[in-house]
Structures are given as structure tokens and as C-alpha cells.
């Protein structure tokens, strides 16, 4: 497109200039012939003037007469009429290509601006010299412009290759090399120090690779440590279970001292066993996918209450406010674990303020359905969670500063809720701690529920 934009108008302008030169020479010859008397113009002078112009006939029109100033022995008939006074860009381009495609021997009649005191000047000439000159000029311009285009293309290619392609290839190679062994620090890219976007990308890649390499090192150490802890926990849980059986027998001894310390021993063993179970549960590579079905929440909350031993006279109030017949589309076992972990944290928070008062120390649960989402709010009237702990609330082994907390209940609950496509978050409340859990229905369950409602 650049070649066409340059070549086409250049050829058209060259043709106009070539014909204008012939007309200018004809005007000069006309002045000479007009100044000399007719008898004083020899045939040799006439021939020389025509040859200088390159024309066969020169005619000048004044008023109503045309004067033949010079002519060859037998003036030929013109095939094409060209009026240089009415030439536009588009006609010039069209006539230039017409000249290039025309056969040799074509005769042109060219009209242009006249000398002083005349209407126009007219010359008749052969189109063969014009076509030959136009072909030579077009070939020259084409070769020169192609040479410039090639040189520019090579320069652009070298520049792009040096400025962009090579740095991008280097980035790609370093990324591929780092992917093969991310823990090898020698494969981290070294920034070239450039100040453009590629330099910024290199610096960002170096920072990302360095952080990823360090993270993988830590993960490897934690994986090895986790495997060892899981094995220890497994054996330790068995030992604690045996100790719990012995402590149950010990609780039947009528000795007053034994009766005073046995409940504390049983509580400590229960917490140790629970900690082992939660550690092993969190240490699994992946939780199984939820096996979802309709779960009656009222019955589920009763099971959690019985598991925690919060019956009448326990000292901790249990307040449940749910819609009648409310069901959630969830895995019953996993949802039980979620509710149990949050409720157990609430119990541990309330036990700090012994002796317990069921009017003051309560666990409050609200559940309702909002369209295709079941929303559960679980709160307690305890001391609440310190602000410094809230940012790391769902991170493993980060205790909420509650006595007996393992630091795994909330991470496990959050993982199980996310597996259901839901969300768990801490609410800002004036008293205690409140979590909101949302469990959306599956698309299939939503369809069946709408069908049941319609029926």
C-alpha cells in the first residue's frame, strides 16, 4: 500500500511534467517563429525547432484564427486529445496508466497555455517517447522505493528483534526453565535493568519466582513435618483413647479427691482427642466432594447440641430460631462438622467466664431461606474475638485466643462451606462473636424445589 501511495502519484506527476516541458519548449519556439518573417524561416530552422520540442506540429490560436507555425512534411492524425489546462489528479492518474498500457506509434494532440496574446498553443507529437520515458521513470522509482522499503523493513525487523523479540524469548526461556524446577534458585531470572515495560515485567517475574521458590521450600518442609505429625497424631490419638477409657473407670472410684479431679482429667483428654482428630482431618490432601441432599436443620442442630453435651442444666443456653421445616441442600456430615466446629469454639469462649449462667452465656442460632440460599447465623455472648486475630481467623493453627482452642475448627469449616459453593464470614456485632454461613442450592435442587412449590 505504501508503494502504491508513492508510485502512482509520482508517475502521474512525471507525465504532467514531461508534457509541460514540451509545451514550454513549444511556447519558446512559437515566440521565435512568430517574431521572424515567414520568408525568413528556413526549412532547416523549422525542423530544428520541431526536434527541440519533440513535436510534429505547433499551432497557436489567436482570436478566431489558428496559425500553423511549424509542421513536418506530412502532419499525422492525432489519436488522443490532451488538454493540460483541465487536468485533475484522478484524470492525471488515469491518463498515466493509459499511456503505460498504450501501443507504440500513438499520436497525441496536446493543448496548453499559450504565449502572450494568444488563446492556446497546440502541439502534435508521438506518444512513444512519452511512454518510454514513463516506463524508465516508473522502473527507477519502483526500484528505489523497494530498496528504501527493504532497508526500512530490515531496520524495523532488527529493531523489533533486538528490543522486543529477544527479551521476550529470554523471558519465555527463563519461565520454562523455572517451571522445570521451581525450587532451584539459580533458575530465577536476573532483570536486565531496562526501564520500559519489559524491564518492569522482568522485575515482577523475579519477585514472583523468588517468592514462589521460597514458598515451595516452606511447603516442602511443612509437608514433611505434616506427614510426621499425622503419624504421631494417629498413634497419640490411640493412646489418648486408651487413657480416656481408664479415666472413665477412674471416675467410678468413690474417693473424694478422685471425684474432684476426674472431670478435669476427662475434659483434658476430650480436648486432646478432639485436637488430634481435627489435625488429622485438616491434614488430608483433599476433602471429599459433598454428597448433597436435603438436610433438616432443626434435627442437625439437636445433634450438635447433644454432641456438645449442652442439655438442660449445662450452664450454657442454647437458643435456636429457624423457619419451620427448613432444609438445606448440603452434605449432612460435612454441614454437621461445620456447625459443630463453630459451636465448640463458642462453648470454649463461654467457659472462660465460669461459673456459667444460661441467661448470660448463650449460643444463638438463626436460620432462614432467601430464595435459593440458606443463611445460618451462629453467635455467642462471649468476650468476642480480638481485632488483631480477625485477619488470620481462617488460617490453620492460628488460635483465636480462646482457652482450649485448636486453631483448626474455623479453617475446616471454611473449607467445607466453600466446597458447597457457599461463604462463611465474621459479622460485626456489639456482643460476642457471630458467623454467617450461606449455603446455595444446587441448580438441580433449585429446579426440583420450584417444581414442588408450583405443585
Task: Quick: pLDDT tens for 161-213.
Answer: 988 888 888 888 888 888 888 877 778 888 888 888 888 888 898 888 888 88
Question: Binning pLDDT at 50, 70 and 90, where does residue 417 land?
Answer: very high
Q: What is the pLDDT of residue 321?
A: 93
Q: What is the pLDDT of residue 365?
A: 95
Q: What is the pTM of this model?
A: 0.46
pLDDT score of 262 more than 50: yes
Q: Which has more confidence, 139 or 42?
A: 139
Q: Which has more confidence, 185 or 365?
A: 365
Give the C-alpha separation, 359 to 432, whole Å: 14
Which residues, listed in sequence order, are joined to residue 365 by a DSSP beta bridge?
A: 320, 378
Indicate the CATH number for domain 286-454.
Answer: 3.30.565.10
Residues 212, 213, 217: CA angle, nearest 5 degrees: 115
Q: Whose grid coordinates read 532497508?
A: 151
**Domain-by-domain residue ranges, the chain?**
2-144, 197-281, 286-454
Query: What number is the average pLDDT over the span 26-44?
Result: 68
Question: Binning pLDDT at 50, 70 and 90, where does residue 34 land?
Answer: low
Mean pLDDT of the chain: 80
Q: Which has more confidence, 71 or 324?
A: 324
Q: What is the pLDDT of residue 108?
A: 86
Q: Which has more confidence, 393 or 162?
A: 162
Q: Which has more confidence, 387 or 40?
A: 387
Give the C-alpha separation, 166 to 169, whole Å: 5
Give the C-alpha separation, 136 to 126, whole Å: 17
Which residues, listed in sequence order, are joined to residue 329 by a DSSP beta bridge?
A: 294
| SS percent in the chain: helix, strand, coil, step 5 | 60, 15, 25
Q: What is the pLDDT of residue 434?
A: 93
Tell which residue, 308, 423, 433, 341, has the closest CA to residue 383. Answer: 433
pLDDT score of 404 more than 50: no
Among 20-29, 150-159, 259-268, the range with the most confident prediction by mean pLDDT is: 150-159
Amino acid at each position: 500500500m505504501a508503494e502504491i501511495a508513492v508510485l502512482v502519484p509520482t508517475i502521474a506527476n512525471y507525465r504532467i511534467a514531461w508534457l509541460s516541458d514540451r509545451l514550454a519548449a513549444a511556447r519558446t519556439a512559437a515566440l521565435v517563429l512568430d517574431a521572424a518573417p515567414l520568408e525568413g524561416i528556413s526549412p532547416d530552422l523549422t525542423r530544428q525547432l520541431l526536434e527541440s520540442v519533440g513535436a510534429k506540429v505547433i499551432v497557436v490560436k489567436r482570436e478566431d484564427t489558428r496559425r500553423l507555425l511549424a509542421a513536418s512534411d506530412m502532419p499525422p492524425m492525432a489519436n488522443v486529445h490532451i488538454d493540460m489546462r483541465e487536468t485533475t489528479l484522478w484524470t492525471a492518474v488515469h491518463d498515466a496508466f493509459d499511456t503505460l498500457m498504450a501501443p507504440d506509434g500513438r499520436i497525441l494532440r496536446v493543448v496548453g497555455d499559450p504565449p502572450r496574446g494568444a488563446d492556446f498553443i497546440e502541439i502534435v507529437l508521438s506518444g512513444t517517447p512519452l511512454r518510454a520515458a514513463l516506463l524508465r521513470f516508473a522502473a527507477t522509482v519502483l526500484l528505489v522505493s523497494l530498496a528504501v522499503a527493504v532497508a526500512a523493513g530490515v531496520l524495523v525487523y532488527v529493531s523489533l528483534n533486538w528490543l522486543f523479540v529477544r527479551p521476550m524469548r529470554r523471558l519465555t526461556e527463563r519461565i520454562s526453565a523455572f517451571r522445570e524446577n521451581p525450587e532451584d534458585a539459580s533458575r530465577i531470572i536476573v532483570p536486565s535493568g531496562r526501564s520500559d515495560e519489559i524491564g518492569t515485567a522482568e522485575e515482577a517475574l523475579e519477585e514472583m519466582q523468588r517468592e514462589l521458590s521460597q514458598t515451595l521450600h516452606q511447603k516442602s518442609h511443612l509437608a514433611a513435618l505434616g506427614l510426621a505429625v499425622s503419624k504421631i497424631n494417629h498413634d497419640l490419638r490411640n493412646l489418648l483413647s486408651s487413657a480416656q477409657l481408664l479415666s472413665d473407670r477412674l471416675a467410678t472410684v468413690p474417693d473424694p479427691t478422685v471425684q474432684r479431679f476426674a472431670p478435669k482429667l476427662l475434659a483434658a483428654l476430650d480436648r486432646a482427642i478432639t485436637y488430634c482428630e481435627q489435625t488429622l482431618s485438616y491434614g488430608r490432601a483433599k476433602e471429599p466432594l459433598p454428597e448433597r441432599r436435603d438436610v433438616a436443620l432443626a434435627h442437625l442442630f439437636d445433634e450438635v447440641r447433644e454432641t456438645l453435651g449442652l442439655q438442660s442444666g449445662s450452664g450454657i443456653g442454647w437458643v435456636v430460631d429457624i423457619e419451620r421445616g427448613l432444609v438445606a441442600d448440603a452434605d449432612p456430615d460435612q454441614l454437621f462438622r461445620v456447625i459443630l466446629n463453630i459451636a465448640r469454639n463458642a462453648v470454649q469462649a463461654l467457659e472462660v467466664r465460669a461459673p456459667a449462667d444460661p441467661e448470660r452465656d448463650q449460643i444463638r442460632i438463626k436460620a432462614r431461606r432467601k430464595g435459593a440460599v440458606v443463611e445460618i447465623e451462629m453467635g455467642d455472648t462471649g468476650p468476642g474475638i480480638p481485632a488483631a486475630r480477625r485477619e488470620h481467623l481462617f488460617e490453620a493453627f492460628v488460635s483465636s485466643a480462646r482457652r482450649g482452642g485448636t486453631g483448626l475448627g474455623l479453617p475446616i469449616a471454611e473449607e467445607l462451606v466453600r466446597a458447597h459453593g457457599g461463604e462463611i464470614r465474621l459479622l460485626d456485632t456489639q456482643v460476642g462473636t457471630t458467623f454467617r454461613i450461606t449455603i446455595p442450592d444446587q441448580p438441580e435442587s433449585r429446579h426440583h424445589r420450584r417444581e414442588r412449590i408450583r405443585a
